[in-house]
Amino acid sequence: MVVRIKLIDQVLLQTLGIMNLNDGGWHAIPGEVPLFARPTLLALHGSDAFLGGRGYIGIFDLEKKKMRKLCYIPVVGIDRFDFGGGYLWVQFRGYLYRVPLSELQ
């Protein structure tokens, strides 16, 4: 599956869009996705898109087309996502954090 995701600027909020490869058009995802800044990092894992940006980490479910988890954190940006050993590894501010993927379901 090929996925392209972009942010569609709105007045106060940005929302996600997915490109339909059949017609080549961008379609806004229904409902509000509370992202107050553009993602600086995107990683795909299974049917999830992990988004990292200024002050947040989010998990977007590509099949259900909705934000499943959102965590606000006081950082300028996320440096790296990685997946291994059953964990999501997140690096920012020079530190490495991990959370079991089973807790993110």
Chain segment 11-65, per-residue pLDDT in tens: 445 566 777 778 877 776 666 566 777 788 889 899 898 999 888 899 988 888 7
Rounded Cα distance, 71 and 103, in Å: 13
Task: With respect to residue 97, please indicate whether it lies within any of the assigned structural domains.
Answer: no
- The verdict on residue 86 lying in a domain is no
CA atoms within 13 A on the CB side of 3: 18
Confirm whether 66 is domain-assigned: yes
Look at the pTM and tell me if it is higher than 0.85: no
Give the total number of structural domains in the chain: 1
CA distance 48 to 64: 10
Q: Is residue 100 part of a domain?
A: no
Of 29 and 102, the one with more pLDDT: 102
Q: Which residues constitute the domain of residue 26?
A: 5-79
Residue 99, domain member (yes or no): no
Predicted local confidence at residue 66, as pLDDT:
81
